[in-house]
Amino acid sequence: MRVDEAEFFNRLLDYRNILYLCHRNADPDAVSSAFALSEALGGTVGLVDGCNRVATVLIDRLGIEVVDKPDPANYGFVVVVDTSTKAQLNDIELTSYCVIDHHTTTALTENAEFFLHRNTTSTVEIVYDILKVMGAPINRRMGIGMLTGIVTDTGHFKHASADTFKTVAKIIEASGVEYGEVLDLMAATPQDISMRIAILKAASRVELDRVGDMIIASSHVSSFGGSASSMLINIGADVAFVGTTKGDSVRVSARAKRDAVNAGVNLGQLMEDISNEYNGTGGGHSGAAGIDIIANMEEVLHKCREMTKKILEKSLGTTAKEISEDEIESNEDEQ
């Protein structure tokens, strides 16, 4: 059952020993949302399978107590935070649980006791509204975490809305945190040498298609697919797909620029549609999404590119074409 912020808070009052469970490789949006709820309502922050580099720094700097790979059976109730698919929880067994999430699509709500879902730019923004309904104070630790969650999930505000900035201003005012403190924390995050190598490999293996002035890029690496797809966007692609494999499982991380989204590309819906063809899981935002399926990676990446090309061809009224090595060299000569 869908509930609003006030009902979400009131229902949680009926439970004791709550676990706020974050998705695998949890990001600052998930961790800080779980932390803020645990500070306001009591309970435990759980990591189903680790967290990313920025979230690791956040946990260390703020002294957030977390439980790694918790067993939901040991808790009175589970709040699944910032998670849209069961695969993101490593298919952990859940019985009595609710969901708070902001992704475009979510498959976890069907069996939930209740859920709070809004299509915001971060889960933190929904959590802030819960805290406001409660009249709960936002201390400095909560403020730093929540601001970091918003900044990272919006791509440093590239995907922010007017409401995002309003919430940021309110958190700063309520917590007394300076925005520069968040930037300093993020700047202190160490760069992983393995990630840098993966990004360079992704760039060297890239395949390109063009629809009008839009460039679709795809590649594959052994890890850090999300970082690699973001890198392809940063260096010139309008839409990027990067595949990684683990056994028979394939994960594709997808990213898109705002111009591509405005032209009709909705990666959250696209990933969900493709995952359904393979009985997998997928979804996310219009500009950032992913899938986990059992399939051939080259086949899936090809399908991602083809479906994106059809969307852009219809929107832009032009035909797609593959960018060849000769065309790349010709363009370099012209420069």
Can you tell me the mean pLDDT for 280-294?
Answer: 86
pLDDT (mean) for 97-113:
88
pLDDT of residue 215: 96
Closest CA to 127 of 70, 97, 61, 82: 82
Residue 8, pLDDT > 60, answer yes
With a pLDDT cut of 90, the percent of the chain lying above it is 71
Mean pLDDT across 5-34: 95
Closest alpha carbon to 293 in 307, 279, 303: 279
pLDDT digits (tens, 9 = 90+) for 131-146: 999 999 999 999 999 9
Average pLDDT estimate for 296-325 = 88
What pLDDT band is residue 221 in, cutting at 50, 70 and 90? very high
115 strand-pairing partners: 2, 99
Given a cut of 90, whether residue 203 has pLDDT beyond it is yes
Residue 149 has what pLDDT? 97
Cα–Cα distance for residue pair 292/245, rounded to 1 Å: 9
With beta carbons less than 8 A apart as the criterion, state whether 38 and 21 touch.
no
> Cα(90)–Cα(166) distance, rounded to whole angstroms?
35
Judge whether 88 and 25 are in contact, CB under 8 Å.
no
**Tokens 């090309």, residue located:** 309
**Mean pLDDT over the full length of the chain:** 91
Amino acid (1-letter code) at residue 17: N
What was the pLDDT predicted at 176? 96
* Amino acid 307: pLDDT: 95
Distant-in-sequence, close-in-space partners of 50: CB < 8 Å, separation ≥ 6: 24, 25, 26, 68
pLDDT beyond 80 at 119: yes
Cβ atoms 320, 309 nearer than 8 A: yes
Map tokens 């699509």 to a residue: 105
Least-confidence region, from 54-63, 71-80, 141-150, 184-193: 184-193
- In sequence order, what are the residues at sequence separation of 6 or more whose Cβ sits closer than 8 angstroms to the Cβ of residue 169? none
Q: Is the pLDDT of residue 255 over 70?
A: yes
Per-residue pLDDT, averaged over 58-84, amounts to: 95
pLDDT of residue 187: 85
Please report the pLDDT score of residue 329 as a whole number: 52
